Chain A
Amino acid sequence: MAEFLPTARSPISPAPPVTVEHGWEVSARRGSADLLITDCTLLAKVHVRAAENGTVARALGAGFGRAARDERGALIVGSGPGEWLLISPPGTAPEVAGRVEAAPEDGLVSVVDVTHGRALMRISGAKTAELLAKVCGIDLSEDVTPNGAAFRSSVAKVVADVVRDDEDGVRSYLLHCPRSYGQYLFDALLDAGDEFGIEIDGFIAPVAHGKE
């Protein structure tokens, strides 16, 4: 059989220049503004459902409405009662799913790779809360949604999951939505951030720079 070199594409068109990382077309643009948006769709995303208080829940460690990193650097997001999304470096979905499936559990556990089904983007910078407040009605104050908070809400009229995941003390949010809405949500955030000088920053592999 012929040699195949599959190329994966995010639903969000990459801003030029375009390169290929981990088999995905990504933007290689470097933004320098105080407010940045990055398409992170190529990150592995694994959806887990299990009993809220079972062994898998305890092993994952993040309760409903909270997000935390595990010892391997994967972000565990408690996205709903008995529901989690595990976000990890590109290409690691089988490994992450395998770890959950191998964990002992006395109830029903389902593990589904939704890497391709969700568009994922990150906004970073001091003005992120002001940007989000224009498109999302959730209280983004420190008291209500501190670092590590996770919620599902309407963002620019799309049902989206939002995770506050500050980086090096800089306020930062991950947002994900069904793939079909990815380009729309990305454009809506760009539009909302225009008054704050938002720029597109291309994806940087976490191993190289410690940033997702």
Chain B
Amino acid sequence: AEDGVVLDDGVTGRLGPEHYLMTTTSSGAATVWEWIENWLQTEHPDWRVHVTPVTDAYASINIAGPKSRELLARLAGGVDLSNEPFPYMSVRVGTVAGVDGCFMWRIGFTGELSYEIHVPAAYGLYVWETLMETGAGLGVKPFGVEAQRVLRLEKGHFIVGQDTDALTQGYGAGISWAIKLDKEDFIGKPELAWQSERDDYPRLVGLQPLDRFIVPPEASQIVEGRKNIAGRITSSRFSPTLNRSICLGFVAPHLAKPGTNVTVQLPDGRRITARVMEQHAHFDPEGARARG
């Protein structure tokens, strides 16, 4: 946003020379639409742009895992699903189970080989049932939000509003890779340019408790000395993949260097030690599974 704060999280696909499809978080959809319309109508009324919300028009299904391509290939038409013509972070339009006008995105929150398919909403149940029936021999199973939360935490995907707050600017969230200060202008540039020159803001970091079987409750405080608060745990789960607890959290800048040990105060008063990790991702930091 204009204050450099991370507003929402989504992927935008370019469907044509002047046609884009923007996805947002579920709860942020209306906010992002209003924000875009506000900028269009007040700052750029001369721009010839129409924004049409289509949130309700599509049912979205995520197919994730090593066999996701194989399953989708049994139902997709009009799209070559192999890696080279359809790489990670791209979108295609085709048919799924005979339904026209479906968007297939090679994206995902789980870190696995993954497709998010958006089908015209009235066909949502039909496509879901067809996927389950077709994938039965591949061992397909539904997975819910909790499983997704663990997978995304293993991959270090932060959740806006949980791992960030209303003051978290881009560099603090660790997304310097997405900030292009060499662009002529963009919303939030002055604030982010200023932030890039400073070093006084909290950092979102990956954390692992030294005791692998302690899972600090989210919002546990990170402390220094007897009573100084130096951060907090924002996300915390036990990872079955790594057989240990994993976290994201905010720490004061002087504690953000990888390898630093920080003290976490649990709600029952105990204090444990956690180590700051190299990056947010605890598993497969190169994204090999998603890009395969």
Contacts and interface: CB of A to CB of B under 8 A. Distances in A.
Interface string A106-135: 011010111111100000000000000000
Contacts of B74: 2
Given A24-B122, A114-B54, A116-B121, A4 B98 contact: yes
Contacts of B48: 107-108
Interface string B135-175: 00000000000000000000000000000000000000000
A117 B56 contact: yes
Interface in A188-212: none
B120 A108 contact: no
Given A6-B123, A9-B126, A118 B56 contact: yes
Given A108-B48, A115-B120, A116-B122, A5 B57 contact: no
Contacts of B97: 4, 6
A175 B99 CA distance: 27
A110 B130 contact: no
Contact of B54 (A7, A24, A112, A180): A112
Contact of A180 (B50, B56, B120, B127): B56
Most B CB atoms within 10 A — which of A11, A116, A180? A116
Contacts of A8: 120, 122-123, 126
Interface residues of B, number: 25
Given A6-B98, A115-B120, A179 B57 contact: yes
Contacts of A9: 122-126
Most B CB atoms within 10 A — which of A6, A110, A113, A115? A6
Given A4-B97, A8-B126, A116-B58, A49 B121 contact: no
Nearest to A49: B50
Given A114-B57, A117-B57, A6 B52 contact: no
A6 B126 contact: yes
A178 interface: yes
Nearest to A180: B56
Interface string A1-30: 111111111110000000000001000000
29 contacts: A1-B77, A4-B75, A4-B98, A6-B97, A6-B98, A6-B127, A7-B123, A8-B120, A8-B122, A8-B123, A8-B126, A9-B122, A9-B123, A9-B126, A10-B122, A42-B122, A110-B52, A112-B52, A112-B54, A114-B52, A114-B54, A115-B57, A116-B56, A116-B58, A116-B120, A116-B122, A117-B58, A179-B56, A179-B121
Interface of B: 48-50, 52, 54-58, 74-75, 77, 97-99, 101, 120-127, 130
Given A4-B99, A115-B57, A116-B56, 9 more contacts: A3-B98, A9-B123, A9-B124, A24-B122, A112-B52, A112-B54, A113-B101, A115-B120, A178-B56
